[in-house]
Amino acid sequence: MTFSSSLSSNEGALVLDASVLINLIGSGYCERILAALTVPIRVSDYAAAEILGGGHEDAVVMRGLLDTGMVHRDPMSPAASILFEDLVSGETNETLGDGEAATIAIANDTGAIAVIDEKQGWRIAKIRSSSLQLATTVDILALPSVHQSLGDGALAQAIKSALVNARMQVRDHQLDWVVGCIGVEAASACTSLARLLRHRANMARQSA
């Protein structure tokens, strides 16, 4: 199965959810990856606060990203705040956490791309705003500009580190690309890929 990023290096601004930034920080190559994007990188106040108030290493890197202007904190407009309140209110299975909701609300309000990994976030975002463009951490890592910046070896290490250190989520249609980058042995050793690999093996046995 062939996978290519849903992003391009010259698209509009990206609004990154906290989990995406944690994945990139966990990769060990966060600054180089973000520099390769060549588009404005934004983060909501909620997502930034989540990281700054969390683990020491993540907080230190996040503070550096904000201080250097590599990532910009983006406050919500009144219009975005209305969507935010809608996204965090209601039944649990139909609502989102503050960080994800703010990411979606800001991206929807500004015409940016919301980069979130959680499937529930994607599902609810598509229901509430069918025109909103969504992407994942893997979409960022799969950009040709990121590959060009890092090279094969560093890209493979970045993916492995994000999987191990941050338990980066990988979708089924992204699995072959990830395995192709890091190798079958490394992929098999990643607990965060175990469910997908088992599912793929079961499907292969059933179709045999």
The amino acid occupying position 16 is L
In this structure, are 134 and 195 located in the same domain? no
CATH code of the domain containing 24? 3.40.50.1010
In a domain, 177, yes or no: yes
pLDDT tens-digit series, residues 49-103: 999 998 788 999 999 999 999 999 999 999 999 999 999 998 878 899 999 999 9
In a domain, 161, yes or no: yes
Q: What is the pLDDT of residues 13-52, one digit of tens each?
A: 999 999 999 999 999 999 999 999 989 999 999 999 999 9
Buried b (16+ CB within 10 A) or exposed e, 166-193: bebbbeeebbebbbebbeeebbeebeeb
The predicted pLDDT at position 205 comes to 77
Quick check: 38 and 143 in contact, CB under 8 A? no
What percentage of the chain reaches a pLDDT higher than 70? 97
Backbone phi and psi for residue 48, each to the nearest 5 degrees, phi listed first? -60, -45
Is the per-residue pLDDT at 1 higher than 60? no
| pTM score of the predicted model | 0.92
Residue 53's domain spans which residues? Answer: 14-138
pLDDT digits (tens, 9 = 90+) for 128-168: 888 899 999 999 999 999 999 999 999 999 999 999 999 99
Q: Is residue 56 part of a domain?
A: yes
- Coil, helix or strand for 15? strand
Residue (of 192, 203, 173, 176) closest to 26 by Cα position: 192
